[in-house]
Chain A
Amino acid sequence: MQKKMAYSFPDEVLEQVFSFIQSDKDRNAVSLVCKSWDEIERWCRRKVFIGNCYAVSPRMVIRRFPEVRSIKLKGKPHFADFNLVPDGWGGYVLPWIAEMAGAYPWLEEIRLKRMVVTDESLELIAKSFKNFKVLVLFSCEGFSTDGLAAIAASCKNLRELDLRESEVDDLSGHWLAHFPETCTSLVSLNISCLRSDEVSFSALERLVGRCPNLRSLRLNRAVTLDKIANILRRAPQLVDFGTGYYAAELQPDVFSNLAGAFSSCKELKSLSGFWDVVPAYLPALYSICPRLTSLNLSYATIQSPDLIKLVSHCPRLQRLLVLDYVEDSGLEELASSCKDLQELRVFPSDPFGAEPNVSLTEQGLVAVSLGCPKLRSVLYFCRRMSNAALVTIAQNRPNLTRFRLCIIEPKTPDYLTLEPLDVGFGAIVEHCKDLRRLSLSGLLTDHVFEYIGTYGKKLEMLSVAFAGDSDLGLHHVLSGCESLRKLEIRDCPFGDKALLANAAKLETMRSLWMSSCAVSFGACKLLGQKMPKLNVEVIDETEPPDSRPESCPVDKLYIYRSVAGPRFDMPPFVWTMGEAVRILH
């Protein structure tokens, strides 16, 4: 015994060694080695990521990791982005803030995604954490500019305030003036989601001017084009910039002022914003285009010729987000100009029109897959696809890690052969051996799921809509995809059999969402009873599921693993299945 102890490192040394281990996975592995390593590791873990805020309780996290400085939490299921999760479902951050206020006085960073944040929560953050530095609210809601004012006023060392894609009750632009004159620490400010046309522009200018470390600034539409030059001249060190409006009547002095301001930003690599673009002002960007690695034009309603001109000036582009106005011709230009392209997202300009309004087809994507050897991540909305094109894309780009294709009309077949797109998507999973994320669309039978189950061994997230013929489809996925963490399904004929046969699989995943499928209330109850480590939640806004026969399918189902047991903050239209829960109801 004593010999063994003589060979073991003192705790401080191990702690020092562990401090170099940053990834959660590695940290978890370290904690499994032995009891003493677990003990040392948990006291020095500084960052925690909780992918589902209901999988664990705040107290459990605090008990295990007493010295956390940075926390990242995710709330609602992904399909909440598309209005499939009713308001009031949950995802409240207040209980977490309340517990952490006492337990983590030195907390520095809070990053939230799809959570409900209230002004009360923001005020509590402002009051409780003296060294608070980073607040990222990604796709959150429930708070107003009053809450932001509290953060601005109290957080003396604030480095990051990022409100990307959040719904903020924009009561007044004056909250910016709450940043004290002594605040010079800002590194990142993203207020692009603020909707009103008010912003205290002079407060913003002064804030930007006194923060020499400001690297990322994303403005909202209240900031007009003529004001951009003023801002940029105060922050020539910016690396990432989001414009407000990029439209105004063309005036030579405004243009040259703008062009001059942009050219003074020698570090600028990433641009976004661009609401209401006047193409005549795009050449003001030409001086920085050669350095640009990321360009988000996904709100810019500019036509293909202007897009082509801009993109042809950006040979170093790695990431492009754009509307389908880019058309096949624009994507062909992209393929020939931007050899460093890694990520492409093409959004629909007219998602609800049945007739195509632009000439964007599968050809554009094929061209990019051929011309851009580093392409890894694709999100593409279009109106037609063929198996041949998908096979070509798969063969051209086996290095794809994310492939999300949305053919706008559900159940659209291969437009050349009128067959299902099983073979095409099959080729994607077969060739792209590192594929981690996949979204399907078009006409698909159970065969596509057979391919996915066979080849999708690294697949972590799968999104399915209007696909499949029977339970066999779901069974292939649940039994074959070893790395699957998140599965979201809507409008597919998947029922009880596959779910019950693969119940154990669900404990190895973060979550499963199924809406407008064929899973019966009885099966949900059974699953809830047999699997205590799963929360099986039925969502039905019209009537309680037990007011109908057990064989009736449920409207929406959300299943997730949890060590915290059932939650108690559910609205009236959400029911948790299981023995223990029935007693509490």
Chain B
Amino acid sequence: MCMELQLGLALPGSDTWSRPLLKLGLYEDINVNRKKRGFDHGYLEDEFSAASFKNYEKGLVGWPPVETWRRKKLRCQVHNHMTAAENGYCGGRASNSSYVKVKMEGVVIARKIDISIHQSFETLTTTIMTMFDIFSHFPFIFGSVDENRRSFKLTYQDKEGDWLIAEDVPWRTFVRSLKCLKLIRSRG
């Protein structure tokens, strides 16, 4: 079929791969070898994000049944992490998701990561590398965990659209200006 040919001809890392894969259900085949987190599939282009928040769209009051005060408290915490401030006042910022898109060089499917639960580049990088199964897929090529980490670099796109190296800036600056992340292989 037309779609399948496109798959064969398109270059790796090209965004045009993502949609046909999902529609044809080919994503399931790619995931077959990933024993870990089988259902935790990647988050694709933003066009799909509207459909994802089904509960909001349906306008379901009181579902899922999480108590109002609990929801408020959790929302407060997401704000606090995003502003990385030590004061606890909950207010000001509009309700934004703390999830950020993460891509890896050479991998088609992007993932999403909750930036609010991290406080350092180390945990963030380790989590991302775990997400992309780097430690299990490349054990013989890259040797120890530390060597693995050194072979990859975490870059990010800031609000101005520039791509920067994450560890070049302080954590708070990074979190505030972060738009999306990309893990690339270190050269040299």
Minimal Cβ-Cβ distance residue in A for B89: A197
Minimal Cβ-Cβ distance residue in A for B57: A354
Provide the bound-state CA to CA distance between A263 and B60, in Å.
Answer: 47
**B66 & A347 in contact (Cβ 8 Å cutoff):** yes
**A301 & B68 in contact (Cβ 8 Å cutoff):** no
**B63 & A356 in contact (Cβ 8 Å cutoff):** no
**B88 & A221 in contact (Cβ 8 Å cutoff):** yes
Stretch of A52-60, A183-191, A386-394, A406-414 on the interface side: A406-414
| A84-B61, A303-B117 as given contacts; A351 in contact with B86, CB under 8 Å | no
Among B43, B70, B127, the residue within 8 A (CB) of A355 is: B43
B59-78 to A contact mask, C-beta < 8 Å, 1/0: 01111111111110110111
Residues in chain A near residue B68, CB distance under 8 A: 81-83
Is A352 an interface residue when CB atoms closer than 8 A count as contact?
Answer: yes
Residues in chain B near residue A298, CB distance under 8 A: 70
Q: How far is the CB of A106 from chain B (nearest CB, A)?
A: 34
Residues in chain B near residue A247, CB distance under 8 A: 86
Stretch of B48-56, B135-143, B150-158 on the interface side: B48-56
Provide the bound-state CA to CA distance between A303 and B114, in Å.
Answer: 11
Residues in chain A near residue B119, CB distance under 8 A: 278
Is B37 an interface residue when CB atoms closer than 8 A count as contact?
Answer: yes
Provide the bound-state CA to CA distance between A554 and B53, in Å.
Answer: 28
Is A476 an interface residue when CB atoms closer than 8 A count as contact?
Answer: no
A404-428 to B contact mask, C-beta < 8 Å, 1/0: 0010111000010000000000000
Provide the bound-state CA to CA distance between A82 and B68, in Å.
Answer: 6
| A275-B73, A276-B81 as given contacts; A82 in contact with B116, CB under 8 Å | no
Is B80 an interface residue when CB atoms closer than 8 A count as contact?
Answer: yes
**B56 & A352 in contact (Cβ 8 Å cutoff):** yes
| Size of A's binding interface in residues, CB under 8 A | 51
| A79-B62, A81-B67, A278-B119 as given contacts; A409 in contact with B54, CB under 8 Å | yes
Among B43, B65, B99, B116, the residue within 8 A (CB) of A301 is: B116
Minimal Cβ-Cβ distance residue in B for A490: B62
Size category of the B interface is 35 or more
Is B179 an interface residue when CB atoms closer than 8 A count as contact?
Answer: no
Provide the bound-state CA to CA distance between A353 and B116, in Å.
Answer: 15
Minimal Cβ-Cβ distance residue in B for A327: B37
Minimal Cβ-Cβ distance residue in B for A439: B65
**B65 & A355 in contact (Cβ 8 Å cutoff):** no
Q: How far is the CB of B29 from chain A (nearest CB, A)?
A: 18
A248-286 to B contact mask, C-beta < 8 Å, 1/0: 110000000000000000000000000110100000000
Is B87 an interface residue when CB atoms closer than 8 A count as contact?
Answer: yes
B30-53 to A contact mask, C-beta < 8 Å, 1/0: 000000110111010000000111
Residues in chain B near residue A455, CB distance under 8 A: none
Q: How far is the CB of A118 from chain B (nearest CB, A)?
A: 19
Is A361 an interface residue when CB atoms closer than 8 A count as contact?
Answer: yes
**A82 & B89 in contact (Cβ 8 Å cutoff):** no
Residues in chain A near residue B90, CB distance under 8 A: 195
Residues in chain B near residue A381, CB distance under 8 A: 64, 66
**B64 & A406 in contact (Cβ 8 Å cutoff):** yes
**A408 & B64 in contact (Cβ 8 Å cutoff):** yes
Minimal Cβ-Cβ distance residue in A for B42: A355
**B71 & A359 in contact (Cβ 8 Å cutoff):** no
| A276-B80, A301-B77 as given contacts; A353 in contact with B53, CB under 8 Å | yes
Q: How far is the CB of B130 from chain A (nearest CB, A)?
A: 10
Q: How far is the CB of A466 from chain B (nearest CB, A)?
A: 8
**B66 & A82 in contact (Cβ 8 Å cutoff):** yes
A327-367 to B contact mask, C-beta < 8 Å, 1/0: 00000000000000000000111111111110101000000
Q: Chain B residues in contact with chain A, CB under 8 A?
A: 36-37, 39-41, 43, 51-56, 60-71, 73-74, 76-78, 80-81, 86-90, 97, 99, 112, 114, 116-117, 119, 123, 127
Pairs across A and B, CB under 8 Å, 25 listed: A82-B61, A82-B65, A84-B62, A197-B88, A221-B88, A222-B88, A249-B86, A275-B73, A276-B77, A298-B70, A299-B74, A301-B81, A301-B116, A348-B64, A349-B74, A352-B55, A353-B53, A353-B97, A355-B52, A356-B39, A357-B114, A406-B64, A410-B60, A410-B63, A465-B65
Closest 8 CB pairs of A and B: A82-B62, A354-B52, A81-B67, A84-B62, A351-B64, A359-B37, A301-B117, A221-B88
